[in-house]
């Protein structure tokens, strides 16, 4: 196929009527075809996508380009920063001759710029705290997070029902544990009468599961103040979408917490956002870096829930983009929902790697211009194979794309720069305030104390009554003894005593004489 045919194919396939963002220029035979731009339609950004490639191929910079272009078009973005290298989007690029050269080859001018940024955190990283209450999860979702069986899930449902019926706020994990223990001990009779018996073995299994997620930091995630997802959809005074960077560098070894958080935020967005259909641009785009962490440690039930939410959340005007090393890190059920694919280079060191590359090549539209399986191992840094959906939902031609450079800094911010951004945050004070209002833990603790005090009072009363009976018996004995003593002390008693003694002595004496 000729170069002219290629240029015509790309220009036709990547020209859209509505708003777009520009990724870079089309490449044929290792040469960027100037003024042949690869663009993405904004109205299809809620169709989800994948950014994949081996380590060091430029995935992070692609995320940066993607987020800053969306922000410039007024689309708020949420980015999961696992490695801690996305903060540079808040600062302007310093420029470089190689950047100028790259943009000249693509056929676009380079303009340095930055995006408005909000830092969020699940742990000890600086930023606005992300929290959610146990009640907001509900019994079904909470059971799936703990990977409980049906019997154990039924007990969780009873705990939620008991708290609802008795007006006990179920906010954090200590509320849940206190309620569960109360229902098995002090309140056992009441609970069994109203809700049926609960197996102590099942309760023990639930407690162990709670301990497991507590050890990964979930006790800090559950609680107040709950994060409001509307704060993720803000724009600044210039109309740019705010890029919310969730700093997760210290939870890489706690995938259970990461999965829990991801499921909660997706479920909350799905539950609170109204139906939107197809908009000119999405309400929100969520980018999940190191996406394998979401799926690798998730239970089957949790995976099913995530897959269901991803399939349905598109109608809310929300797009989700996964970034990972290999497409196989993402379940097939999720991959089948993705409209955009940006594939950086893959490495083939073993027969298994080569097989995986051949399989990956089959996931892209057929093309007469590239040998996809070979090209996948030959892409340079900052190059990728791209296909998306046009405005009619039809896949665009597969194109080898030379990606533009980020307008923002391709490096992390300093601690001083991060502190400066935090000092200007409009939400950090709202969410970093410590809130620990009276909830199930405090209410049941008081109830247990009152119950224990009643038991103590009853025991003391029992002991006093026992002591009183013992005292009465001793007093009666003393009275009987004192009556005898008074009789013996009287003149009649003394006379009787003498006669008895004399009689006894006489008997003894008589017996003695007879023996002699």
User: Over the stretch 277-293, which tens digit does the pLDDT of each residue have?
Assistant: 788 999 999 998 888 87
Q: What is the pLDDT of residue 115?
A: 95
Of residues 499 and 139, the one with the higher pLDDT is 139
- Which ranges of 166-291 would DSSP assign to H, the alpha helix? 173-184, 188-195, 200-214, 218-221, 255-272
pLDDT attached to residue 451: 66
Q: What is the pLDDT of residue 515?
A: 43
CB–CB of 279/120 below 8 Å?
A: no
Q: Can you tell me the mean pLDDT for 95-122?
A: 92
Is residue 52 helix, strand or coil? strand
Token reading at 361: 């090549």
Thinking of the domain 3-130+227-419, which architecture would CATH place it in? Answer: 3-Layer(aba) Sandwich (3.40)
Considering the entire predicted model, what is its pTM?
A: 0.81
Asked which of 52-56, 83-87, 407-411, 434-438 is least confident by mean pLDDT, the reply is 434-438
* pLDDT > 70 in the chain, percent: 87
Region 387-402: mean pLDDT is 92
Bridge-based pairing of strands 318-324 and 284-288 is parallel
Domain ranges across the chain: 3-130+227-419, 134-220, 449-515
Is the pLDDT assigned to residue 481 strictly greater than 60? no
Is the bond into 500 cis (omega within 30 degrees of 0)? Answer: no
| In the predicted structure, residue 407 carries a pLDDT above the cut 90 | yes
Query: Distance (Å, rounded) from C-alpha 235 to C-alpha 233?
Result: 7
The residue count for the chain = 516
Give the list of residues 6+ apart from residue 504 with CB closer than 8 angstroms, or none: none
What tokens were used for 335?
């991959």
Tracing tokens 């025991």 back to the chain, one arrives at 459
pLDDT at 137: 84
Give the pLDDT score at 90. 93
Cβ atoms of 335 and 341 within 8 Å: the answer is no
Q: What is the pLDDT of residues 218-277, one digit of tens each?
A: 888 888 888 888 999 999 999 999 999 998 877 666 767 777 777 788 888 888 899 987
Residue 147 scores a pLDDT above 60 = yes
């Amino acid at each position: 196929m000729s170069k002219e045919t290629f240029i015509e194919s790309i220009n036709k396939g990547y020209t859209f009527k509505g708003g777009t963002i520009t990724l870079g220029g089309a490449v044929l035979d290792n040469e960027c075809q100037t003024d042949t731009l690869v663009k993405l339609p904004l109205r299809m950004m809620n169709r989800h996508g994948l950014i994949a490639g081996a380590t060091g191929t430029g995935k992070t910079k692609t995320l940066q380009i993607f987020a800053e272009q969306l922000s410039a078009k007024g689309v708020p973005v949420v980015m999961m920063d696992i490695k801690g290298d996305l903060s540079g989007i808040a600062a302007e690029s310093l420029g470089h001759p190689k950047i100028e050269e790259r943009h000249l080859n693509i056929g676009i001018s380079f303009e340095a710029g930055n995006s408005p940024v909000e830092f969020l955190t699940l742990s000890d990283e600086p930023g606005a705290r992300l929290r959610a209450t146990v009640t907001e999860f509900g019994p079904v979702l909470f059971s799936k997070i703990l990977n409980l069986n049906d019997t154990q899930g039924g007990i969780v449902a009873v705990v939620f029902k008991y708290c609802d019926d008795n007006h006990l706020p179920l906010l954090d994990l200590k509320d849940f544990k206190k309620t569960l223990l109360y229902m098995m001990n002090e309140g056992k009779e009441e609970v069994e009468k109203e809700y049926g018996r609960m197996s102590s073995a099942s309760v023990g299994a639930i407690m162990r599961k709670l301990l497991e997620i507590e050890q990964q930091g979930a006790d800090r995630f559950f609680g107040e103040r709950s994060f409001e997802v509307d704060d993720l959809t803000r724009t600044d005074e210039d109309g740019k979408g705010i890029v919310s960077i969730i700093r997760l560098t210290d939870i890489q070894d706690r995938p259970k917490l990461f999965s829990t958080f991801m499921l909660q935020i997706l479920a909350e967005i799905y539950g609170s956002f109204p139906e939107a259909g197809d908009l000119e641009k999405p309400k929100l785009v969520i980018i999940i870096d190191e996406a394998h962490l979401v799926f690798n440690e998730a239970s089957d039930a949790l995976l099913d829930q995530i897959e269901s939410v991803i399939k349905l959340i598109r109608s809310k005007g929300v797009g989700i983009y996964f970034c990972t090393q290999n497409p196989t890190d993402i379940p097939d059920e999720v991959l089948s929902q993705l409209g955009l694919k940006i594939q950086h280079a893959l490495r083939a060191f073993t027969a298994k790697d080569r097989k995986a590359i051949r399989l990956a090549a089959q996931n892209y539209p057929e093309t007469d211009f590239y040998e996809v399986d070979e090209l996948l191992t030959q892409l340079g840094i900052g190059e990728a194979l791209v296909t998306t959906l046009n405005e009619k939902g039809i896949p665009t031609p597969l194109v080898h794309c030379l990606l533009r450079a980020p307008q923002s800094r391709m490096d992390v911010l300093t601690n001083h720069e991060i502190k400066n951004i935090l000092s200007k945050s409009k939400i950090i004070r709202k969410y970093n305030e410590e809130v620990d209002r009276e909830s199930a833990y405090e209410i049941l603790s008081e109830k247990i104390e009152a119950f224990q005090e009643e038991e103590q009072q009853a025991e003391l009363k029992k002991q006093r009554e026992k002591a009183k009976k013992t005292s009465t018996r001793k007093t009666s004995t003393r009275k009987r003894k004192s009556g005898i003593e008074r009789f013996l002390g009287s003149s009649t008693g003394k006379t009787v005593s003498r006669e008895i003694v004399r009689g006894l002595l006489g008997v003894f004496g008589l017996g003695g004489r007879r023996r002699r």
